[in-house]
Amino acid sequence: MTSVTQDTLLITVAPTGAETAKSDCPQLPTTLAELVATAQECEAAGAAMIHVHIRDDEHRPTLDPHRLRDTVDALREATDLVVQLSTGGSVHDPLDARLRVLDAAPDSCSLTMGTTNFGDDVFANPWPFVCDLYQLSQERQVVPEFELFDLGHVAALRRLIDRFGLPYGGRVHCDLVMGVPGGMPGTADALVAAVAALPPETTSWGATGIGRTTLAVGLAALSKGGHLRVGMEDVLTLAKGVPVTSNRQLVERAVAMGELAQRRPMTPAEARELLNVRSAP
């Protein structure tokens, strides 16, 4: 019998991202050793999945295939977390390199459902690329998490499922990424609208609010029965003028918010069941 119930909460940690410079935020985990230590701490605190961006020796974002594979191996060795690799990378990464992320055979991959303005940049996800990445995830048996930055992305998910069927594993898990300058606002109203528009095939969804929208989005997501993504990819302050010093703090806060909503953190095994990821090789 499944232990995944409405009383459980999937907490995903996104510890690094591609946007923050190590020089601006020395506590950002950018080396493999820092990433693994963060992952272990966050798992102990209540996270069940990790959304991973990696950096090179100069702490710059990279999609180097060997590093990606080593990262997946190291996280599998050191934790039970569901390992989700970002296929979004940084706004400067070419589309072919983003497709090759799946060569590292993660449990899950992010899959953004459309192009969005991203601050002063553009996060490019043209429809043919979305289709190629989706079909590749089906072929490689990697469970996608659909990243929805805008209501148009929600509509595009309907179109994708109609054209190519369900993802590998049969579950449709979405993450509303809200409050990006250029995407949908990080408000309860926007969250309610986006959740109402999710296709009926959706089996689970979570949300993350960027920057100062993090609490409004997290509380709204809990109110609507959704899951949470937190981490230094998305927010660098706990309150105005109070810097985040570790990803663990954000996971602990998510656990505390979940407790108020009478939701206990899901274990990694329960997250695997929720998402139906293939068993580790």
Residues lying near ligand KMH in the complex (CB under 6 A): 17-19, 86-88, 90-91, 110, 112, 118, 123, 147
* Separation CA 169–CA 257 (nearest Å): 30
- Residue 80, binding choice from ligand KMH, Zn ion, none, Cβ under 5 to 8 Å by partner class: none
Name, in order, each residue with C-beta under 8 angstroms of 3's C-beta and a sequence gap of 6 or more.
Answer: 270, 273
Note whether 252 and 34 are within 8 A (CB): no
Phi-psi region of 211 (alpha: psi -120 to 50; beta: other; left: phi over 0): left
The C-alpha angle with vertex 165 and arms to 10 and 222, in degrees rounded to 5, equals 20
Nearer to ligand KMH, 19 or 201 (CB): 19
Selection from 126, 172, 121, 166 nearest residue 275 by Cα = 172
- Residue 204, binding choice from ligand KMH, Zn ion, none, Cβ under 5 to 8 Å by partner class: none
Nearer to ligand KMH, 112 or 246 (CB): 112
Nearer to Zn ion, 79 or 86 (CB): 86
Work out how close the CB of 114 gets to ligand KMH at its nearest, in angstroms, rounded to a whole number: 12
Work out how close the CB of 87 gets to ligand KMH at its nearest, in angstroms, rounded to a whole number: 6
Work out how close the CB of 109 gets to ligand KMH at its nearest, in angstroms, rounded to a whole number: 8
Work out how close the CB of 206 gets to Zn ion at its nearest, in angstroms, rounded to a whole number: 13
- Residue 197, binding choice from ligand KMH, Zn ion, none, Cβ under 5 to 8 Å by partner class: none
Instruction: Give contact residues for Zn ion (rule: CB under 5 A).
Output: 86
Name the one residue in this structure whose structure tokens are 């999710």: 198
Name the one residue in this structure whose structure tokens are 């029965």: 225
Q: Which residue is nearest to Zn ion (CB)?
A: 86
Nearer to Zn ion, 236 or 261 (CB): 236
- Residue 112, binding choice from Zn ion, ligand KMH, none, Cβ under 5 to 8 Å by partner class: ligand KMH
Work out how close the CB of 63 gets to ligand KMH at its nearest, in angstroms, rounded to a whole number: 11
Tokens of 244: 């985040």
- Residue 147, binding choice from ligand KMH, Zn ion, none, Cβ under 5 to 8 Å by partner class: ligand KMH
- Residue 84, binding choice from Zn ion, ligand KMH, none, Cβ under 5 to 8 Å by partner class: none
- Residue 148 β-bridge partners: 176
Q: Which residue is nearest to ligand KMH (CB)?
A: 88
Long-range contacts of 259-263 (CB under 8 A, 24+ apart): 260/222, 261/9, 261/222, 261/223, 262/7, 263/6, 263/7, 263/8, 263/9, 263/222
Instruction: Give me the torsion for CA of 261, 267, 269, 274, rounded to 10°.
Output: 20
Work out how close the CB of 183 gets to Zn ion at its nearest, in angstroms, rounded to a whole number: 13
Note whether 46 and 11 are within 8 A (CB): yes
Work out how close the CB of 75 gets to ligand KMH at its nearest, in angstroms, rounded to a whole number: 16
Alpha-carbon Rg of the chain, whole angstroms? 17
Nearer to ligand KMH, 233 or 270 (CB): 233
Nearer to ligand KMH, 88 or 263 (CB): 88
Say which DSSP state 4 is in: -
Nearer to ligand KMH, 18 or 275 (CB): 18
